[in-house]
Amino acid sequence: MDSSQLLSAALIFIVALLPLELTAISNAYSSYSENPYFSQEIYVVPEDENGRVLRGAHVYLYAMLGGKWVLLGERSTGALGIASFRPSFPLDLKAIADFDGRRLNVYGSINLMAIVQGKDYIGLYTIPLDPTFELGSPKIIEVKAYPISSENLLQQSHGYSYERVLNEWYQYTPVLRYSTYHNISAEWVYPVGSKVRVQTLWAYPPGSSVWRDGGYVEITMDCTTSTWLPDTGPYIWTLEFYFKYRHSIEYGSLNIEYLYAVDTSDDPKSERIIKEDWLGTPVSGQYYRDVWQGDSEKFNVTGGY
């Protein structure tokens, strides 16, 4: 699988005829570091393709710590079909922000990966835990498991505490797209502590032509990055961040192929802007609006596709 097939879940399209200021977290103004820990209730719920809970499944929960997947524990789902964990994590305070009129500690996200295994099914899902908003609330991870053909049936085994990495690389990933018109000034801002989500993919057995959605990794910005584009023109601008990616094929004695972005300590490594010509035809709809000449407006980017 070519690295270009890794899809970004953070591609955002915005069309606006105005000076554009984009922020992912409002008014983040200070960076700090601290090392407290917190405990988190995590419940993994395996389901089959029809949404039925899988009882007696083996669940392996990992966290991305220090840029690597660390095995937090192994459980079996009981009569309720739920595997419960209560690991401890370090808090990484990135910034303090003003949010809805109150001060908010902005923490780096902790990415979790759950692998679900049975004799004739397997599943994987990646999802972030954001201590900024989720402290004190149980985290529920729903993992969809898929049937395995008879020639690829799994043998129950242990020791999934390491991964065999096939390849690592950096790749520019589109995170924002917007358009401008004549005599328009535009600015985008990603403050320290803002987040970008990047899709993950997995396949079983390794070498399979069928790649499945594996959830997403959330990359926390370790520095503020921005660009001011004065008096632009009828162009489409695409912002791309330089993120690290990894291709793995083995987790201990379990062979499963996995492609994902890595949250590092210096994201984004770099950025670039791609400019394309645009005819300047306004786009209508509930997600678009015009702002007249001489006015300005700010958009908070809170999601994308």
pLDDT digits (tens, 9 = 90+) for 214-248: 999 999 999 999 988 876 788 888 999 999 999 99
Compute the half-sphere exposure of residue 34: CA atoms within 13 Å on the CB side of its CA. 13
Question: Do you find a cis peptide bond into 46, omega within 30 degrees of 0?
Answer: no
The pLDDT, as a whole number, for residue 160 is: 57
The pLDDT, as a whole number, for residue 161 is: 61
Task: Encode the chain (305 residues) as per-residue pLDDT tens digits.
Answer: 443 333 332 233 322 222 333 334 333 444 444 558 899 999 999 999 999 999 999 999 999 999 999 999 999 998 899 999 999 999 999 998 877 788 889 999 999 999 998 888 999 999 999 999 888 889 999 999 999 876 666 544 455 567 889 999 999 999 988 888 777 788 889 999 999 999 999 999 888 899 999 999 999 999 999 988 876 788 888 999 999 999 998 776 678 899 999 999 999 999 999 999 887 776 666 666 676 777 787 777 766 55
Neighbours of 227 (CB within 10 A): 13
Yes or no: say if 111 and 64 are a contact pair by the CB < 8 Å rule: yes
- As beta bridge partners, residue 201 has 213, 259
The pLDDT, as a whole number, for residue 3 is: 39
The pLDDT, as a whole number, for residue 179 is: 81
The amino acid occupying position 216 is Y
What does the H/E/C string look like for the chain? CCHHHCCCCCCCEEECCCCEEEECCCCCCECCCCCCEEECCEEEEEECCCCCECCCCEEEEEEEECCEEEEEEEEECCCCCCEEECCEEECCEEEEEEECCEEEEEECCEEEEEEEECCCEEEEEEEEECHHHHCCCCEEEEEECEECCHHHCCCCCCCCCCEEEEEEEEEEEEEEEEEECCCCCEEEEECCCCEEEEEEEEECCCCCCCCEEEEEEEEECCCCEEEEECCCCCEEEEEEEEEEEEEEEEECCEEEEEEEEECCCCCCCCEEEEEEECCCCCCCCCCCCCCCCCCCEEEECCCCC
The pLDDT, as a whole number, for residue 102 is: 84
The pLDDT, as a whole number, for residue 39 is: 93
